[in-house]
Chain A
Amino acid sequence: MDSIYKEIILEYYKNPKNYGRIKKPTSSAFLANPLCGDKIRIDVILKKGKVREIKFSGDGCAISQASASLLTEYSKQKKATILKKIGPKKVLQMLGIKIGPARLKCALLPLEVFKKAISKTP
């Protein structure tokens, strides 16, 4: 069996990108997966409809942490209207691994939080 723990996943797990909190975000969102206890929070600063700053925090498994790193990295300087259209497929593509049904929720939790955060902003 092929491991889903490819270099990139492990790298992001050990050295996450955009990890932390933003002092004065224009909006933030939080979600937890009660099944495994993963918790993700995303803070954003949107200016002129674009993501100026974005950070995530919380804990979770390697998959959810890597997914949050990739997603926040990808969204920088992009327009919220475009980012709102990101679907699960895009996230799985960024992760570049095949994920079984049991772990799909881990991979997609950050996306859910992300969408909540960027939709809140006026």
Chain B
Amino acid sequence: MFSVNKIKKDFPVFKNHPKLVYLDSAATSLKPRGVIVKLVEYYEKYPANVFRGIYKISEKATEELEETRKIVADFIGAKTPKEVIFTRNTTESINLVSYALGEKILRKGDEVALSIAEHHSNFVPWQQLAKKNGAVFKIIDVNEDGKLIIKKGFFSRKTKILALTYVSNVLGTINPIKEIIKLAKSENPGIITVIDAAQAIPHLKIDVKKLGADFLAFSSHKMLGPTGLGILWGKEKILQEMKPFNFGGEMVEEVSIKKTTFKEPPLKFEAGTPDIAGIIALKEAIRYLSKIGFKNIRRHEIEITRYAMERMLKEFGERIKIFGPKDPRDRGGIISFALSGLHPHDVAQILDEKNICVRAGHHCAIPLHKRLGVPATTRASFYIYNDKKDIDKLILGLKKAWILFTKK
């Protein structure tokens, strides 16, 4: 049974801030006790470096780290743990693909395609790469309902890279990634597809084999795990052909004055000491999510999102604009909105006075906000520890803001 009250007890922050209404999980999720305990376990019980020690506590740390790699691989349906690379965050994962592969395969006149709804971290790296390599930067637009509009003939043999977000961090739209990849590959079987799963991984069951993508990037911190850790999954065959990303320790096999040979993936892409504690603790986040189950997570999220949208529209009607899909089933637990005449910063600040955390601004998606014709939005995002009472408090806070700023 899914009980928010029970779940809340697993998150120590609620003990320290009993009144906290946390509606900013799209920025980062809260952390359950199991994850925190595991972080401390590493530092207290086997705080050694990995891969190098011939002594027991280093071997233990290495074992724990590699166990997480395996758990991540199983979690996303990877063929082998060798396809799982640890990075610092989604942003670094995407940059890795851009540097270690994009630079090589993108030629003058080729195209790199992505959507107007990308987070800057899946936008700027490709824009810069296109500039550098003289390629065309091609944008997929969105419609009124926040869905991608892919015109006939959009993809061609020239489209070498497709970089797409699975779930928009502003609109909340869940994109039909599988179908889009299929379409792109039917036009160019050699196209490299990079999926930004930062907002998808906490909410949807992902199986990379079924998805058909070549790369998947996500962050630990949005899926109940520690900060400072990202994951890049890539198809083994492609990873093997890629050049290294960073050079240094841990990623080399043989070094002489004349030359260096590199390890096989994934270590080839993991130069330097990784975030050992973070990696070790991530498995506890995955265990926690798996225990609850994505079916339950999704059901709960849709229910909360539907309730929030209904209440917002009922209270504010024409005075509120909710961006993205009308049907809550088409979106992750994200609602970005604008109250007419109220500045998002002011709205967020008033909510903060009631301990309600929402986001105000452009959410690292300036091109999308320009497209929507607003400089900024207020965003409320939901996760497993939110309930209808949180939504009621949000509505109350919004009403207060409305009265404060519009009453003559």
What residues make up the interface of A, taking CB atoms closer than 8 Å to B? Answer: 1, 3-5, 10, 13-14, 34-39, 59-63, 103, 106
Sample (14) of A-B pairs whose CB atoms are under 8 Å apart: A1-B353, A3-B350, A4-B349, A13-B405, A14-B408, A34-B362, A34-B366, A36-B343, A36-B360, A37-B369, A38-B343, A59-B375, A60-B343, A61-B346
16 other A-B residue contacts (CB within 8 Å) besides A10-B405, A14-B406, A59-B375: A4-B349, A5-B404, A10-B404, A13-B405, A35-B362, A36-B360, A36-B361, A36-B375, A37-B369, A38-B375, A61-B343, A61-B345, A62-B343, A62-B405, A63-B346, A103-B349
Instruction: Please report the C-alpha to C-alpha distance between residue A60 and residue B408 in the assembled complex, in whole angstroms.
Output: 19
Nearest-Cβ distance from residue B342 to partner chain A, whole angstroms? 9
A-B interface, 9 closest residue pairs, ranked by CB to CB distance from nearest: A37-B375, A61-B343, A61-B345, A37-B376, A61-B346, A62-B346, A36-B376, A36-B345, A1-B353
What is the interface residue range for chain B against chain A?
20 to 34
Q: How far is the CA of A60 from the CA of B341 in the complex (A)?
A: 10
Q: Which residues of B contact A34 (CB under 8 A)?
A: 362, 366
Contact call B374/A3, Cβ cutoff below 8 A: no
Q: Which residues of A contact B328 (CB under 8 A)?
A: none
B362 and A37 form a contact (CB under 8 A): yes
A88 to B405, CA, bound (A): 25
Contacts of B265 in A (CB 8 A): none
A14 CB to nearest B CB, Å: 7
Contact B361 A5 (CB under 8 A): no
Which chain A residue lies CB-closest to B377? A37
| 8 Å CB interface, B342-372 against A | 343-346, 349-350, 352-353, 360-362, 366, 369
B-side contacts of A63, CB under 8 Å: 345-346
In this complex, which of B343, B352, B360, B408 has the most chain A Cβ atoms within 10 angstroms of its Cβ? B343
Contacts of B360 in A (CB 8 A): 36
Minimum CB–CB distance from B398 to chain A (whole Å) comes to 15
In angstroms, Cα B407 to Cα A5, docked, is 13
A35 to B366, CA, bound (A): 9
Chain B nearest CB from A93 CB (Å) reads 20
Alpha-carbon distance between A67 and B319 when the two chains are bound, in angstroms: 26
Residues of A close to B405: CB separation below 8 A: 10, 13-14, 62
Contact A106 B353 (CB under 8 A): no
A45 to chain B, nearest CB (A): 29
In the docked arrangement, what's the CA distance between A35 and B345, Å?
10
Q: Within the assembled complex, what's the spacing in Å between the Cα atoms of A13 and B341? A: 11
**Contact residues in A for B366 (Cβ distance below 8 Å):** 34
- B361 with A35: CB separation less than 8 A: yes
Evaluate whether A103 and B345 lie within 8 angstroms (CB atoms) in the complex, with A37-B374, A37-B376 already known.
Answer: yes
Query: B367-408: contact bitstring with A at CB < 8 Å (1 yes, 0 no)?
Result: 001000011100000000000000000000000000011101
Q: Which residues of B contact A5 (CB under 8 A)?
A: 346, 349-350, 404
> Which of A1, A3, A36 sits near B344, CB closer than 8 Å?
A36
> B365 to chain A: closest CB distance in Å?
12
B contact residues around A103 at 8 Å (CB): 345, 349
User: Residues of B contacting A106 with CB < 8 Å?
Assistant: 345
Q: In this complex, what residue of A is CB-closest to B366?
A: A34
Across the interface, name the chain A residue whose C-beta is closest to B369. A37
CB distance from A41 to the nearest CB of B (A): 15
Which residues in B have their C-beta under 8 angstroms from that of A60?
A: 343
Contacts of A37 in B (CB 8 A): 362, 369, 374-376
| Chain A residues, CB < 8 A from B349 | 4-5, 103
Task: Determine the chain A residues whose CB is within 8 A of the CB of B376 once the complex forms.
Answer: 36-37
List the B residue with the shortest CB-CB distance to A37. Answer: B375
Within 8 A of A (CB), among B318-348: 343-346
Q: Which residues of A contact B343 (CB under 8 A)?
A: 36, 38, 59-62
